[in-house]
Amino acid sequence: MQTKVTIVGSGNVGATAAHWIAAKELADVVLVDIIEGVPQGKGLDLLQAMPIEKRDAHTVGTQDYAQTANSDIVVITAGVPRKPGMSRDDLLNINYKIMSDVVGKVVQYSPNCILIIVSNPLDAMAQTAYKLSKFPRERVIGMAGILDSARFRAFIAMELNVSVENINAFVLGGHGDTMVPLPRYSTVAGIPVTELIPKEKLDKIVQRTRDGGAEIVKYLKTGSAYYAPSAAVAEMVEAIFRDKKKILPCAAYLQGEYGVNGCFVGVPVKLGAKGIEQIIEIKLTPEEQAAFNKSAASVKELCAVINV
Ligand SMILES: NC(=O)c1ccc[n+]([C@@H]2O[C@H](COP(=O)([O-])OP(=O)(O)OC[C@H]3O[C@@H](n4cnc5c(N)ncnc54)[C@H](O)[C@@H]3O)[C@@H](O)[C@H]2O)c1
């Protein structure tokens, strides 16, 4: 295969993303981790699944960044996940150190790659990667909105007992307690969800979406969600490699869009071969804009702490 994806951090999200990417035959995958043996073992195990799955994706694990050279996409999941009772923001300082270390090495070997950032707190980590890599903003994308809106879609499908395929939903804003689910732009087979679910029920679904990550952390106790987050990464990788021009909610560096300047926030973007090919601006109601501004302000606050 000619396309190459490096995934830094071979824990739950990283290894499962490798699984989806190889299973969809999107690219050869290089797994990296600081723990000796873990990426090697997972890379080899996944490689041995390929004859069964009849997929020609080569997967390998390493500690050596030289093996990541000339990757088309680098996904960064390195870092520490939440434990029960922790917020994503509690991870700021430790993951900032990890992100700074990783980005320098990634950029050295793959100066033309597209970066997909996953580590939390997501928007601040994407901003760290953007500032340290000095890449154009088109090539630094944060994964969060696809996951948050997938949670919203799953809950709507459960409530109405219909196929998840019928549901389109949008979540904007930062990946955190200030995310902004938009029921107004969420539809079931084209029908606005606001016409199918009474407001009180919808409000509860919105709140469950906001708390979607914490709900899973509470169940797992020793880590956070990874199947849905890694599937979201694979959707972004596919949109880029297949130049789909797919509109997806992602964290992007805003330069005046939505009235926000100089920070990463979740917005609808067009993903294609060049990365973020367009930021789609939609009209927000005054309440939605206020919630969006609050979200952007909390990202800026975090970025100020780590000075990015
Ligand atoms: N953006 C999102 O929506 C979203 C969703 C889920 C998880 N996350 C975040 O993604 C990150 C990873 O989550 P996980 O569940 O895979 O955690 P995990 O603990 O299972 O895996 C993280 C891996 O990173 C590795 N690592 C740490 N420092 C490293 C370094 N300097 N270089 C290379 N590898 C390093 C660790 O050894 C570990 O294997 C966490 O920060 C988590 O909060 C984000």
Cα first-last separation, the chain: 37
The residue contributing the CA closest to ligand 1 atom 8 is: 119
Known catalytic residue at 19 = no
> How do 28-32 and 59-62 pair as beta strands?
parallel
CA–centroid distance, residue 13 to ligand 1 (Å): 7
- The pLDDT of residue 113 is above 80: yes
Q: Does position 295 have pLDDT exceeding 70, yes or no?
A: yes
pLDDT-derived band at 213 (thresholds 50, 70, 90) equals: very high
**Spatial distance between the Cα atoms of 144 and 133, rounded to a whole number of angstroms:** 20
- Report the residue among 34, 117, 152 best suited for mutation to probe ligand 1: largest number of ligand atoms under 8 A from its CB: 34
The residue whose CA is least distant from atom 11 of ligand 1 is: 119
Position 178 scores a pLDDT of: 82
The position carrying tokens 């996951």 is 147
Which protein residue's CA is at the shortest distance from atom 9 of ligand 1? 119
Tokens coding 226: 């990874």
Write the pLDDT tens digit of every residue in 259-290.
999 999 999 999 999 999 999 999 999 999 99
pLDDT at site 143 = 98
Contact 180, 147 (CB under 8 A): no
Contact of 100 with 128, CB cutoff 8 Å: yes
| Catalytic residue selected from 139, 175, 210, 300 | 175
Report which ligand 1 atom has the smallest distance to the Cα of 35: 37
Pick the residue with more confidence: 81 or 15? Answer: 15
Q: Is the pLDDT of residue 99 over 80?
A: yes
Chain mean pLDDT for the chain: 95
Per-residue confidence band for 88, with pLDDT thresholds at 50, 70 and 90: confident
Lowest mean pLDDT among 22-36, 177-191, 221-235, 237-251: 177-191
